[in-house]
Chain A
């Protein structure tokens, strides 16, 4: 690698980059997805998720017990059912808040899907996890303050409260429960947390640092979570009496996002490692990019989205025309959907089918990219591209792209682009190919 340049002339950044690309490219591993697990508002498991989408079910419902929150205008949510959590032994479970329980269940399911027994010896140092969330358990954080603040009394706090509330609670609990002793990290990029987790795992395996990584995100529904979007006027407020009609991504009558909860975890694996053990491969990860708008903490940025999609495609070695399907982030906010539609139009024109799955699931925030990508890949396996639920009349500013509306499109799609965007000006894009 160039450190000092030729003939004593310092190398340019471009030269160093080129050298790095050349030196790495021969050694980079191929990375595949061999396991998918989720707990979503449509139920536990990817097959249940897909069944719900096939049936056109919207998991959003009225959250009547939120009415006592003063100033909370959005009274809809997409809860996931938590069950069978007592199958996790108490000494593992005690440090898990709701989102960690979702994450552990999804991780177990991802391993089983990959043909790996979750109780087998995973303590090899070559397997880790990256699981992200917006915050630690919102329920536990709320309980901690409710316990402590009336009297400013710390003595009433449980020892486990801290482990429920910390930002890396999901990834820590997945690792401890499954006895993983490889790389363990948490991403915290709000709604792009799962996508950044998958991207981080992809890079670690690509570089040969790990053989396999459980990657994804987890989130839980709580009035304080919906409230944080509500104060920014980003939530859906007009459909409290008709909850299944919202959210409405790209639709003329959309009025904001609806928070959901759950977890999505994927097992990413070195291709050679997967082939050696005879694993079934769902898809190959071809490229990934994440970037910031460097501009505004809450406003969506079309230029940043465009740059992120272009770079993810460049990393994949693909042209936009080679993409078969775009699984959009589209949460049904007025500005976000407009910017994303414009960005997709600028990069892909109107030929590539696009849909958002948030009409079925609400916005599962830090879990959304993993849950939605799982559903997209499972649909593509059946040559089915799912429509955007609740998209009846495409909003004028969201036109000019190929929306999938009404019914699934039956077509053989191999290459998918998954978008994920977040507050903080974060964009993250993954490109996968069906194998």
Chain B
């Protein structure tokens, strides 16, 4: 899975689940402060990302360090590379 595909699918999650306009979804956008998500939204974000990317991230400690959209893209990319290191 390419970085571009990850960005597209992640942004889809934010548009569908949190009704955010695409222009707000810049890589540096802070998830809490700028996109307006709260602790309950994060639970749903995890469920939606797991479904979208077919990964298990609920127990992954790295989730706690995520602050921006770019952090999510990088985290998912890392997960996908761990699944298949050759890519």
Contacts and interface: CB of A to CB of B under 8 A. Distances in A.
B36 interface: yes
Contacts of B41: 94, 159
B15 interface: no
Interface in B39-87: 40-41, 43-44, 47, 50-51, 56, 58
B32 interface: no
A156 B47 contact: yes
Contacts of B18: 90
Interface string B17-49: 011000000000000000010101101100100
B44 A155 contact: no
A90 B47 CA distance: 18
Contacts of B44: 158-160
B59 to A, nearest CB: 9
A160 B58 contact: no
A91 B38 contact: yes
Interface residues of B, number: 13
A158 B36 CA distance: 18
A90 B40 contact: no
A160 B19 CA distance: 15
A157 B58 CA distance: 12
Residue of B19, B36, B50, B56 with highest tally of chain A CB at under 10 A: B19
Interface string A151-167: 00001111110000000
A91 B39 CA distance: 12
A152 to B, nearest CB: 16
Contacts of A157: 47
A94 B41 CA distance: 9
B36 A156 contact: no
Interface string A126-160: 00000000000000000000000000000111111
B40 A160 contact: yes
Contacts of B19: 90
A160 B17 CA distance: 12
Nearest to A90: B19
A153 to B, nearest CB: 11
Interface string A62-101: 0000000000000000000000000000110010000000
Given A91-B36, A94-B40, A159-B43, 13 more contacts: A90-B19, A91-B38, A94-B41, A155-B47, A155-B50, A155-B58, A156-B47, A157-B47, A158-B43, A158-B44, A158-B47, A159-B41, A159-B44
Interface of A: 90-91, 94, 155-160
20 contacts: A90-B18, A91-B36, A91-B38, A94-B40, A94-B41, A155-B47, A155-B50, A155-B56, A155-B58, A156-B47, A156-B51, A157-B47, A158-B43, A158-B44, A158-B47, A159-B43, A159-B44, A159-B47, A160-B40, A160-B44
Q: Which 8 A-B pairs have the closest CB atoms?
A: A159-B43, A159-B40, A158-B44, A90-B19, A159-B44, A158-B47, A155-B58, A156-B47
